[in-house]
Structure 1
C-alpha cells in the first residue's frame, strides 16, 4: 500500500540559518520540491496552520495552566510572566522572558508581596512553574487583547498594554507590581550575582479553555510548552505512532546541518514507504513540500542556501 502520511517540520525563520550551507543532497531535493504559496509569518500564525481552536482565539494561559496544573476548566486565566525590562529614554524594553533561570523558591519569594495586591482585585496570583505565573479570574471576565511576549521582545512594554479604561486598570496594576518587584531583596541578590532582575510582569494569553482543539496531525513531537498545551487539548500523541501524519517542532533549531542529519535524511529515504510527503514550514511563512516523483525536475538549479 502506498504511503499517504505527511511529516511536517516546524522551523524558525530562515534568517536563523543565515550563511549556513545546504548539503548537495538537500539543496537538490529542495530545488526540485514544490514551493508552496507564502502564508502569514509569525509563530502564532505558524501554529494556527496546524491547530484549529473553537471558538477562535488564543487563550494560551488557560491551556498552559491545564498542562501545568490540570485545574483550568472552571475559571478564566491570564499569564503574568516574570520578565526583565531595561529602561531607556522612551520607556522600558522587554529584554528577557522565559530564560531568567529562576528557581521555584525564587519565584515563590518574588510572588509573595504580589499576592495581596492582586488578591485585593479578585485576581489571585499563583506560580505553576518558575517562569509561568498565572492570575485566576472569573470565567465571565472581559479581558483586552495582550501581546504575546515572543512578539514583544526588544519592544516597549507599555506600548503593548491596551488603551482606554480597561487598559488603565492593567497599567495601574503593572505599575504597582513593578514597585514591589523593584524593592524585592531577591532582585538585589540577583543583580549582585550578575543575573537579570525580575523587574516587571508581562500580561498575555487571557481567556478560558477552548471548547475544542483539532490538530492536523495525530502525533505532535516537541518540548515547547505552548505546543504541548495545544497538543494536550487536541489529544495528540506525544510520540510518533506507527501510522498517521506527524508534526515535529524544530523552532529552536539554529544549526541547519543538525536539522538535515537528525530530521531530514532518514525521512527522505522513507518517502513512499512511511511518508507520502515532507513539508518544511518556516516561521517566516515560506514552505516546501517534498514528495516522490519530483526528481524529473532535473533542470532546476541546486539550492545552496535557504534564502537563495
Structure 2
C-alpha cells in the first residue's frame, strides 16, 4: 500500500500544533536519535553509492549534466564582512540576488586565476559556481556555507599544508573581486557586493543514488532536488498533499508557517490515511525524530496529545 513521508524542519521552528494534530502525534509511534541536521535527514531517504557526500558533483549534474569524469568543487559567490573580531560570512549564493549579468561581469575576471591553477571555473547557475578538477586531486575538508553563516570565516579556512593552496587562491580571488568595478555598481544600486568565494562540497559523481521512494517531491532545496534527479525519482512539489501510488517523499523543510503546514499538508495527509488511500504517514523532522502514523492508532485513546513536535 502507498505510504507518504513529509520532511519537516527542526521541531523548534514548528511551534505548537493544533489540537487534532497534537492528538495524532500523541498516538503515533516515535523513533528518536536518527541523526540531526539536514544531511542526516536526507540520507535517511536518499543514499549516494558509494557513501560519500559530493554536493558539488550532484548539483553540477543537475545544472549542466556533465559531472561525470571529473572532481567538482563549489566556489560559490559570497559576501564577507570584516569586524573587530575577524570576518563573518553574511551572504552566499541565492541571498546575493545574482543574475546572468553579474556572472558575465565577474566570472571573466576570475578565469585567469583558476585557469592557470588547472581548475576552470564556470557558473551554469548565477548563484552556483564550480571548479573542475582532475579526479585524483586531493582536497582538504571544507565547511558548507550553511554551517558557517554568521561565523568567523577564519575558523573555517582549510588548514595545514593541504589547505595552503586554497587559502592562497581565496586571497587572490578576494583581491580580484574587491577591485572589480562591477561591485561598486552593485553597491550603488543598493545590492550587496560579491567580495569572496566559498569553497565546499567537493567530490566526484556517485555511481548511483538509492531510494526506497517511488517519487521525491522536492522543494527549493538544491541538494534534495539533485539527489532525487540522480535517483531518477524526482517530481515537482504540489501545492498541497496528494496521495498517489507507491511511496512518496515530500520535502517541506523550507516551510515555517505551521498553519499552512497543517492546512495544506498534515490534515489532508491524515485524511488520506484515515480513508485508506495511504497505509502509513511518516513525519521526519530535521532533529532526527520521526513520527509514524497509522490508521489503527486511533484506538490509542489513552495517550496524551503532544504539545509540540519535540520528542
Distance, in Å, in 2 between the alignment partners of 1:8 and 1:166 is: 41
Q: CA RMSD in A?
A: 1.6
Task: Identify the residue that residue 214 of structure 1 maps to in structure 2.
Answer: 210
- Relative to the length of structure 1, the TM-score reads 0.94
- Of the candidates 23, 26, 38, which is equivalent to residue 28 of structure 1? 23
Structure 1 residues 112 and 141, CA, compared in 2 at 3 Å: closer, same or farther?
Answer: same
Deviation at 1:216, TM superposition (A): 2.5
CA contact (8 A) 1:38 1:287 kept: no
Distance, in Å, in 2 between the alignment partners of 1:120 and 1:217 is: 44
CA contact (8 A) 1:10 1:248 kept: yes
CA contact (8 A) 2:243 2:278 kept: no
Deviation at 1:211, TM superposition (A): 1.0
CA contact (8 A) 2:243 2:277 kept: no
Alignment of 1:1-308 (within 5 A): 4-18=1-15, 21-98=16-93, 99-223=95-219, 224-239=221-236, 242-271=244-273, 273-307=276-310
Structure 1 residues 141 and 283, CA, compared in 2 at 3 Å: closer, same or farther?
Answer: same
Deviation at 1:307, TM superposition (A): 4.2
Deviation at 1:158, TM superposition (A): 2.6
CA contact (8 A) 1:219 1:241 kept: no
Structure 1 residues 149 and 260, CA, compared in 2 at 3 Å: closer, same or farther?
Answer: same
Structure 1 residues 234 and 262, CA, compared in 2 at 3 Å: closer, same or farther?
Answer: same
Structure 1 residues 279 and 241, CA, compared in 2 at 3 Å: closer, same or farther?
Answer: closer
Distance, in Å, in 2 between the alignment partners of 1:73 and 1:90 is: 42
Deviation at 1:143, TM superposition (A): 1.5
Distance, in Å, in 2 between the alignment partners of 1:210 and 1:158 is: 31
How many aligned positions are there?
303
Which has more helix, going by share of residues?
2
Deviation at 1:241, TM superposition (A): 8.5
Extract unaligned runs of 5+ from structure 1: none
- Relative to the length of structure 2, the TM-score reads 0.93
